[in-house]
Amino acid sequence: MKKLILVLVIGLAGCENIQNSQNYLITSKKLAEINPSGVGMSEDRLNRIKEISDEYITSNKVPGIVTMVARKGKIVYKYVAGAKGIKDSTNLKEDDLFRIYSMTKPITAIAAMQLYEDGKFHLKDPISKFIPELKRLKYVNEDGEFVETKKEITMQQLLTHTAGFSYGFNPNDTIDKLYNKANLWESKDLEEFTKKISEIPLKFEPGNRWHYSIAVDLTGLIVERLSNMSLDEYFYKKIFKPLGMNDTFFEVPENKKSRFLPNHYYDGEKNESFEIPEENRAMSNYYDVSLFSGGGGLVSTAMDYMIFAECLRNGGSYNGKRIISPKTIDFMIKNHLEASISNVGSGESPSSNNRGGFGFGLGFGLMLDSSLNGTIGSNGEYSWGGAAGTIFWIDPKEEIVVVSMIQLMNSPWSLRQDLKVATYQAIDKLY
């Protein structure tokens, strides 16, 4: 069980970072709040979110939930309920800090595409141009043999999880066993992390399949090398500071530790959740960080992530500060998967949980056909989630952004789908 938790956490290890050294002084401006009726939504029907949240808490499915809904750039509904943790009955607060895990990935993708806009790379460039350590790689073929790849991994494949890397989730898979043996998350930094990756074969020939992986961590290394900054410094200067994201970081500042929530794990065999103890947090250290995981290392609040998501919905600009072009955002949220690529990934995948209709862009999962998905939504919405149950989605058509956060790993509950239904059934006016 401990090993499983450590693999799922996808954590970090390390030293002082730029955010703490600068005391993280950022001028923050939260989204304004508005009566839902002003943007075509029903306040009464939005209370379905409260009902769902309260049911999850009273039935002991989760200790606490924070959910925010925005439309046309204004908060129309916000609900904070429950406690900080199973062992801490203190009321959960709006500004409490959550591990967002893979919701770090869209931020890393934006960072990479900022550098794309600066002319630092093209999507068809081989990643070996920036990471020469990964020039000559092998993959496992259908006969189980390790053979040299015929093609080099491109930047586009790295950003779309089609490069052939993995996470190590499957304990019975030959390649995943090597990932676990490598102890990637005990690496001191991205350089050591990449050296270990260079010694592990790919799961398939680059570009042949989709498989959820550490590719975005390698993207983070490329951001470091192209910008001559550490990833935390780059995020701070180019994304967090311009947007006023005062509560998003790899390393939790000393004066904010009291707001950092405990994490939990659902044990299916016992049908109960438990708080992940301190001794199991070696690979999820948020207090002394030097391995900046662009794939899963950030801590944030619901409001901070709402600011980031609203910036994307608004075409790359928030509060008068532009971090990326609307044309680049539009390009990123197109489906970049070829029709021939099968969705056979682990964890979050374009068609996970037997729900179809998904594609994948540059850093985001895309809803291509909501009728195939089995949950109400809009074609063209884009989203992602984190291992501890955090979720966001952006619906450009309805101009809606939703962010919801819990801290429960291995959750069997359908909270994400429940919140989607609760949000969309509250619409009075379509856009």
pLDDT per position as a tens digit, 267-294: 999 999 999 986 665 446 799 999 999 9
Residue count of the chain, please give it.
431
pLDDT at 24 over 60: no
Q: What is the pLDDT of residue 350?
A: 55
pLDDT digits (tens, 9 = 90+) for 350-397: 555 556 788 999 999 999 999 988 899 999 999 999 999 999 999 999
Encoded tokens for 385? 């989630």
Query: Radius of gyration (Cα) for the chain, nearest Å?
Result: 20
Spell out where 268-381 has E strands: 272-275, 299-300, 317-318, 321-322, 342-343, 358-360, 365-367
pLDDT at 209 over 80: yes
Partners of residue 366 on adjacent β-strands: 359, 382
Instruction: In whole angstroms, give the CA distance from residue 44 to residue 418.
Output: 17
Q: What is the pLDDT of residue 29?
A: 85
Encoded tokens for 343? 């969705």
Mean pLDDT of 56-75: 98
Q: Report helix, strand or coil for 61.
A: coil
Q: Hey, how many other C-beta atoms are within 10 angstroms of the C-beta on 7?
A: 20
Q: What is the pLDDT of residue 154?
A: 98
Q: What is the pLDDT of residue 355?
A: 61
280, 2 contact by CB (below 8 A): yes
32, 298 contact by CB (below 8 A): no
* Domain locations in the chain as residue ranges: 11-104+228-424, 114-221
Q: What is the pLDDT of residue 280?
A: 61
Instruction: In whole angstroms, give the CA distance from residue 349 to residue 204.
Output: 17
Lowest-pLDDT range of 27-36, 39-48, 73-82, 350-359: 350-359
Q: Report helix, strand or coil for 201.
A: coil
Of 206, 240, 202, whose CA–CA distance to 104 is shortest? Answer: 240
Instruction: In whole angstroms, give the CA distance from residue 157 to residue 121.
Output: 13
Mean pLDDT score across all residues of the chain: 91
Q: Report helix, strand or coil for 209.
A: strand
Q: What is the pLDDT of residue 25?
A: 57
In this prediction, residue 27 has a pLDDT band, given cuts at 50, 70 and 90, of low
Q: What is the pLDDT of residue 18?
A: 53
Instruction: In whole angstroms, give the CA distance from residue 91 to residue 64.
Output: 8
Lowest-pLDDT range of 54-58, 134-138, 346-350, 398-402: 346-350
How large a percentage of the chain has pLDDT more than 70? Answer: 89
- pTM value is 0.93
3-state secondary structure 191-223: HHHHHHHHCCCECCCCCCEECCCCHHHHHHHHH
pLDDT digits (tens, 9 = 90+) for 326-351: 999 999 999 999 877 755 554 444 55
Mean pLDDT of 15-37: 69
431, 31 contact by CB (below 8 A): no
In this prediction, residue 46 has a pLDDT band, given cuts at 50, 70 and 90, of very high
How large a percentage of the chain has pLDDT more than 90? Answer: 84
Q: What is the pLDDT of residue 373?
A: 85
Partners of residue 68 on adjacent β-strands: 78, 403
Mean pLDDT of 30-49: 98
302, 68 contact by CB (below 8 A): yes
In this prediction, residue 234 has a pLDDT band, given cuts at 50, 70 and 90, of very high
Phi-psi region of 285 (alpha: psi -120 to 50; beta: other; left: phi over 0): beta
Chain center to CA of 189: 20
Is 11-104+228-424 a CATH 3.40.710.10 domain? yes
Instruction: In whole angstroms, give the CA distance from residue 355 to residue 336.
Output: 19
Lowest-pLDDT range of 110-114, 175-179, 284-288, 389-393: 284-288
386, 97 contact by CB (below 8 A): no
Q: Report helix, strand or coil for 158.
A: helix
Q: Which residues contact 254 (CB under 8 A, 6 or more apart)?
A: 20
